[in-house]
A and B are shown apart, each in its own frame.
Chain A
């Protein structure tokens, strides 16, 4: 996983609440067995007309937001399906940071697993950042994860909260399986206790 330290990039505003993961990547594109290549289908229904041509009004089809690396939305971003294809599609498009007043739980988790930083900020601040985003390439937003601030084009710093463990994993680009496997003996210990206490617990075998 790629480290996330600082980012200075064009931000795109999608001023909508409840953007679900079906909208981020419709189910018909989930037939891949890879993590990559989904960027071209991100926001498919909003981005393309029924005949497959680009919808020129959609923000991510317009310069300079075509190259946006930060996405700002309203409440409950990523609700619905647990599909990790949603953050994969965003990442493949080039998005490294998503900012919203609130996120759905599973999507929020999935972002961290892919080096995407999800930042929760109050709606009024999201509105201000959307204003910055509307100014395009002349108004890049910066994110400094170490210092936990979003830096607006005028230099104003907006602090944000983040779980310290997740911050650490993002900053170092660490795979959390490796972290957990350092506790393998604790897992072994748990299992031998459980085997005693829940001796009734069946295992699954199919001939």
Chain B
């Protein structure tokens, strides 16, 4: 057999049948549901009189809509409450396993899946959410789908797909001080652009990726979609197996050993073909953040805001000027020192225990700057509990941060955590689109350590200066 990539192997293993025109019926091992993109799919099943084929391969949580304040109070917003209650009725009717709002296991779906051992290497995993790519960090083929496809998976446990192309992004070397997985990924997106991975699945490789812990790999794979890719992948290795071992829904004992034996065969073969290859050196990457309203508009923290006048293409120049106007920035100004109003540390990109530790290391012994609102939103109830066991909550509270309940929070402006027009936010989330965090809100994407640095100084700051 010709040498195959990690993607090829998982793909081949899950093809039920390939139709004459080249579309494949691809088997799905795990289907993750949340309240926002599932109600119309359940309704479709009901109207067609179809069953949900495999509740035992499906898991539901609430995350997008939920307030991150006191959970003992009823949800105020009627539409949000309705969506959550609709999910609760649906999971009951169709027998789908569910972590309710008051469970410690509740959290952001892309934090919960890996944390519970529900997402495993070599699997196909889908969810009606583009950041499903996160689970690719385990070496699983994981991608976001629309609600019609959610309904298709519910009814058939398969999806109709054509194989993606293979792309490999290799990052070699050792990242410098203050450079995290988030900085590496922002640098990659800046390098290849938001359509750089379109039609491809990106495998992340190289010593800098191998050296990341699972949380870092999840951050990288999470933002594959911001590079336009359908999915991101990291080959499973000892770091992966040690992460998976002992998780509640992971295989145990002899089954675990059998699984590992198979997972070890998944890595890309020597000489396998990639349609596109990109290589970066970790040493060239600085602590990085975005200045504009597209995730590809990145700068090192030591950089200056670019000048639209330098753009030759008229449409590109106009678009850049609009971004500067929206963001309230001037061409040529140093990005460091720009005052912020809000700091958000959370989201499926950066809300794991490792992220909170990195933020706490900067926050310890310091205080949130006057006039800045700084929020810490753990990715799950379990992350929150662990952080409290480690005393991180005390560090944050003593420093003047808010310590909140798990959920998507300020990543997407559909729950009470929102920016108001004109507010500038240092955010560990994944999208800086216009209005993403609330109408008129201005988002700078950066790492948890950089976000904490912005919180304590009151402005965008090079975290290395606080070392």
Contacts and interface: CB of A to CB of B under 8 A. Distances in A.
Interface stretch (A56-64, A91-99, A100-108, A135-143): A100-108
Contacts of B25: 180, 183, 186-187
A177 B50 contact: yes
A20 B434 CA distance: 9
A75 B294 CA distance: 13
Contacts of A196: none
B421 interface: yes
Given A23-B433, A33-B39, A106-B146, A206 B99 contact: yes
A17 B151 CA distance: 31
Interface in A16-65: 16-18, 20, 22-23, 26-28, 30-35, 45, 50
A180 B36 contact: no
Contacts of A109: 145-146, 149
B369 interface: no
B130 A106 contact: yes
A35 B37 CA distance: 10
B94 interface: no
Interface in A156-199: 163-165, 176-177, 180-181, 183-184, 186-187, 190-191, 194, 198-199
B16 interface: yes
A177 B436 CA distance: 33
Contact of A201 (B79, B160, B251): B251
Contact of B79 (A26, A31, A187): A31
B294 A202 contact: no
Interface centre among B58, B152, B433 (most CB of A within 10 A): B433
Most buried by B among A27, A32, A163, A205: A27
Interface string B195-235: 10011000000000000000000000000010010100000
A76 B228 contact: yes
Contacts of A183: 16-17, 25
Interface stretch (A4-12, A81-89, A147-155): A81-89
B172 interface: no
Interface in B22-48: 23, 25, 27, 29, 36-37, 39-40, 43, 48
Given A22-B433, A75-B195, A110 B228 contact: no
B156 A187 contact: yes
Q: Is the interface of A mostly helix, strand, loop or mixed?
A: loop
A84 B37 contact: yes
B169 interface: no
B80 interface: yes
B386 interface: no
Given A31-B83, A200-B256, A82 B145 contact: yes
Interface string B405-444: 0000000111000000100000000010111100110000
A204 B249 contact: yes
A12 B230 CA distance: 29
Interface residues of B, number: 79
B71 interface: no
B148 A113 contact: yes
Given A50-B421, A180-B156, A203-B56, A84 B146 contact: yes
Contacts of A17: 315, 319
Given A23-B433, A187-B158, A164 B21 contact: yes
Contacts of B145: 82, 106, 109
Nearest to A46: B434
B421 A84 contact: no
B151 to A, nearest CB: 7
Interface in A95-130: 102, 104-106, 109-110, 113-114
A68 interface: no
A90 interface: no
B147 interface: yes
B274 interface: no
A54 to B, nearest CB: 16
B449 to A, nearest CB: 26
B98 interface: yes
30 contacts: A16-B319, A23-B433, A26-B435, A28-B414, A31-B80, A33-B43, A45-B434, A45-B439, A50-B421, A50-B440, A80-B130, A104-B195, A105-B228, A163-B162, A176-B152, A177-B50, A180-B25, A181-B155, A181-B156, A198-B262, A200-B251, A200-B255, A200-B262, A201-B259, A202-B255, A203-B57, A204-B57, A205-B56, A205-B97, A206-B97
Closest 5 CB pairs between A and B? A113-B148, A84-B146, A200-B255, A31-B79, A82-B144
